[in-house]
C-alpha cells in the first residue's frame, strides 16, 4: 500500500502505514485522525513543543516523558498517544510531521478522498475554505481534504498542490515572472 503513493514512503511512510493499519483494525481511524490534527496544530502553535520534537539534545526517555505530559494535557490518548510515545522512544519523533502527512494520505485513499496541499499568505475564512473545497471537488470528483500552510512570503493568492498537479497563483510567482520578462527584454 505504501509504495503506491510517493508521499507515503521512507521511515515516515512505514510508521504511518503501521499506524493506519492499527487504527483501521481497531476501528479508530477518525479518532486517530482528529488526535493527529490536534497534535499538528499544537506543533505549529508551540515553539517549545516543536523544539522538543526536533531537537536531538533531548534523549528518548526525556522526550517520551515530556511528550506524555503534553499529550495528557491535550487529552490525546489511546492509539494516538501510544504511537506518538513510540516515535519518541524510537528516537523518530523528528519525523512526526511527515508521518502525520502520510497518515492523512492513507486515510484519504481509504475513504476515497483526495488531499491537497494549499499555501496561502494569510489564514482563510471558513467561507473561502468551503469555496476552495467545492472548487477542488468539482475538478477531482472527490471530497478534498486540505492541508493548509500559511506563508506570508507568497504575498497573496495561493498555491495548490493536488497529487502531481500544482497551480501557483501567488503574487510572488507573478512578480518573479514579470521580473524575468523585464530582464530578458532589457
The CATH number that applies at residue 73 is 1.10.520.20
Say which CATH number the domain at 120 has. Answer: 3.40.30
Q: State the pLDDT confidence band at 7, using cuts at 50, 70 and 90.
A: low
Residue that terminates a domain, selected from 107, 137, 162: 107
> 159 with 80, same domain?
no
Residue 140 is predicted with a pLDDT of: 86
C-alpha cell at 154: 507568497
Per the structure, how many domains does the chain have? 2
> 170 with 124, same domain?
yes
Question: Do the beta carbons of residue 164 and residue 114 sit within 8 Å?
Answer: no
Among 76-80, 90-94, 171-175, 182-186, which stretch is predicted with the lowest mean pLDDT? 182-186
Quote the crossing angle between the two packed helices 29-45 and 78-89, to the nearest 10°.
50
How does the average pLDDT of the chain come out, rounded? 89
Query: At 46, is the secondary structure helix, strand, or coil?
Result: coil
Question: Do the beta carbons of residue 87 and residue 94 sit within 8 Å?
Answer: no
> 95 with 154, same domain?
no
> 101 with 26, same domain?
yes
Residue that terminates a domain, selected from 89, 107, 125: 107
Residue 40 CB-density burial (10 A; 0-12 exposed, 13-18 middle, 19+ buried):
middle
Alpha helical stretches, state H, 75-170: 78-89, 96-111, 126-140
Average pLDDT value for residue range 8-34: 92
> 88 with 140, same domain?
no
Residue that terminates a domain, selected from 107, 128, 155: 107
> 11 with 82, same domain?
yes
Whole-number Å distance between alpha carbons of 18 and 10 = 12
Containing domain of residue 169, as a range? 113-185
> 98 with 117, same domain?
no
> 76 with 102, same domain?
yes
Amino acid at each position: 500500500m505504501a509504495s503506491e503513493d510517493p508521499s507515503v514512503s521512507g521511515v515516515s511512510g512505514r510508521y504511518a502505514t503501521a499506524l493506519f493499519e492499527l487504527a483501521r483494525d481497531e476501528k479508530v481511524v477518525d479518532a486517530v485522525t482528529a488526535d493527529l490534527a490536534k497534535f499538528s496544530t499544537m506543533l505549529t502553535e508551540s515553539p517549545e513543543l516543536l523544539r522538543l520534537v526536533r531537537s536531538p539534545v533531548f534523549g528518548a526517555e526525556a522526550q517520551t516523558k515530556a511528550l506524555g505530559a503534553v499529550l495528557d494535557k491535550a487529552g490525546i490518548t489511546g492509539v494516538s498517544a501510544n504511537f506518538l510515545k513510540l516515535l519518541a522512544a524510537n528516537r523518530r519523533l523528528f519525523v512526526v510531521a511527515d508521518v502525520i502527512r502520510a497518515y492523512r494520505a492513507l486515510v484519504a485513499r481509504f475513504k476515497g478522498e483526495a488531499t491537497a496541499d494549499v499555501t496561502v499568505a494569510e489564514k482563510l475564512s471558513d467561507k473561502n475554505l468551503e469555496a476552495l473545497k467545492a472548487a477542488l471537488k468539482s475538478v477531482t470528483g472527490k471530497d478534498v481534504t486540505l492541508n493548509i500552510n500559511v506563508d506570508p512570503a507568497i504575498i497573496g493568492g495561493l498555491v495548490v498542490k493536488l497529487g502531481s498537479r500544482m497551480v501557483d497563483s501567488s503574487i510572488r510567482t507573478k512578480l518573479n515572472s514579470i521580473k524575468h520578462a523585464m530582464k530578458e527584454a532589457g
